[in-house]
Amino acid sequence: MIMICKFLKKKKKKKKKKKKKKKKKKKKKKKKKKKLTVLDLAICWGGAILDDALPRTDFGNPDAKSRAQIRERRSQADGESERGRGINQGGKNGGPAIVGVTGGSAGGKGRRREDRATHVRGAGDVREERRAGSRDETNNDAGGRDAMDVDDGTVPEHSPKDEFGDLVAALPRRHQSILELRLYHGFWLPEHWVTGTIAFQRRFSPRRDDVVLASYPKCGTTWLKALAFAVAARGAHPPAAGDHPLRRLNPHDCIPFIDEIFAGGEEAKLDALPSPRLMNTHLPYTLLPDSVVTGGSSCRVVYVCRDPKDMVVSLWHFLRRAEPGLSFAETFEFVCDGTVAVGPVCGTTVACPDRVLFLKYEDLLLDTGAGVRRLAEFMGMPFSVAEEVAGDVEAVVELCSFDKMKGLEVNKPGGGTAGRYKAMPRDAFFRKGVAGDWANHMTPEMAARLDGIFREKLEGTGLAFA
């Protein structure tokens, strides 16, 4: 009898083991994620591609609970990084200067030991000292400076790549085409972006009149940069002048990607800029620093978006420069599967209408002059009656027109721009500059599908695309 009982017990155990194995196999199958393509890089800017991404409300604006989660996760990451590395961290007269993003090494090679000591002493204290010194200098600058005046060749004071290297190395990784991606707070970012993003989040101190130009890629970033720079610099560089910086520099050389500056440990460049400082980012809303998105911040955000159908077409043409074999069908399918919102900061239009200017690419095409006036007013630099009479608004429109910029020698094929897009030929930023080109690439069914996806995402925001 005892033997029979033992035999039955063994049978039951075997059955349980088999059931457990089957369950494990099912779980593994469920966990298999869709194969990533080169477009993961592009989509990460507009919205999360993971099922466990933070919940969003009001068109990209995380709710209060989500925002608290973001802060908590960031502070935890800060603590882990510091413990791991053993570090205890305690004018308008001249218009904006142009930041030369060339020359800075993200790795900070050749950094001196005293620089590290300075950083440990307290990055905030050092930054405040630098800012005070730079303001004394810029207050005497009435002529506006050029790119190389800011890029003085000094060695970066610290290396974010060294400082945050362990933290970045611990993040989930995916190899995609020619890129290494890291999963950071629900977004797949190129590995070389992550250190700059972390440093930007932790160290950025906004000024009252800072202007952050935010955009989803291929939605008018280059044009917005040109318009904003022309408006802000018109005191030192009249838009009709033959030697205007925009006649010899690409707009990306005039206004920097802010996380690119932080990636190189070159915040001194940013601190040296006279007010108002103009900066650009493609980062989604949830990755912007708390100092920018919280109600206590006074810096302003200008956001430009575009009909998603035209965005997909423009994105495909741009990405094909790096990956010629990429098909439009693949691009389209990924955008649809990603179910992303149009942009990372549109939700702030609900919470902070006085600090966010929302522009549509199509509206700028229809009446660029009206958009320029709105932009100048929002930036705190409205056109005077005398400027209106003199035709300065029209001069800005002409200077920054698509045909004018595309025809400049600096924007023709060959070479690259400063910083992030230095590997891309300069003409990659000037294709057609029109609305409605999607009709030449999509079937009516494809267009209806994409419209339906974005209509759902934009519900309740007051934003719509015809």
Catalytic machinery residues: 282
Sheet of 179-184: strand order equals: 173-176, 179-184, 187-190
Tell me the C-alpha to C-alpha distance, in Å, between residue 445 and each of 341, 439, 442, 456: 20, 11, 8, 17
**Which H or E run contains 174?**
strand 173-176
- Whether 280 and 256 have beta carbons less than 8 Å apart is answered as yes
Please name which of 439, 397, 445 lies closest in space to residue 307, comparing C-alpha atoms. Answer: 439
- Whether 403 and 254 have beta carbons less than 8 Å apart is answered as no
Q: Which two tokens stand for residue 2?
A: 């005892």
Alpha helices (H) in 140-284, listed in sequence order = 147-150, 160-163, 165-169, 191-203, 221-232, 251-254, 258-263, 267-271
**Which H or E run contains 190?**
strand 187-190
- Whether 149 and 274 have beta carbons less than 8 Å apart is answered as no
Angle between helices 308-319 and 328-338 (to 10 degrees): 130
Q: How far apart are the first and last CA of the chain?
A: 80
Q: For the residues of 58-124, what is the DSSP string, one character each?
A: TTTB--HHHHHHHHHHHHHHHHHHHHHHT-----TTT-PPPP--TT--TT-TT--HHHHHHHHH-HH
Q: For the residues of 428-460, what is the DSSP string, one character each?
A: GG-S---S-GGGGT--HHHHHHHHHHHHHHTTT
